[in-house]
Amino acid sequence: MVPRWAKAVRHWQPGDRVTLPFVCACGACPQCVSGNHQVCDHQFQPGFTHWGSFAEYVAINNADVNLVRFAG
C-alpha cells in the first residue's frame, strides 16, 4: 500500500494497493526507455540487493516505474 508520506511518488495515491516485480528498474537507461525493465542496467531486487522482502513498508527507488497495481 502506498503510504500517505510517500511524497515523491507521483503516479500513485496514498492507500493504493501495490506490489512490484522481482527485478526493479531505474526507468532511465536505454533498456528501460525501450520498455525492457527486466534487463535494466541498474536493476535492484528488494530482499536481495536491498532491504525489504518481509518489511511492512519498504522504500522503493523509482516507485513510479516499478509499482504495479494489486488487483484484489
List, for the chain, all residue ranges whose pLDDT scores fall below the cut of 70: 53, 72
* pLDDT of 47: 81
Model's pTM, two decimal places?
Answer: 0.76
Instruction: Say how many C-beta atoms besides its own lie within 10 A of residue 54's C-beta.
Output: 7
Residue 28 pLDDT: 95
Looking at residue 50, what DSSP letter applies? B
Q: What's the confidence (pLDDT) of residue 49?
A: 84
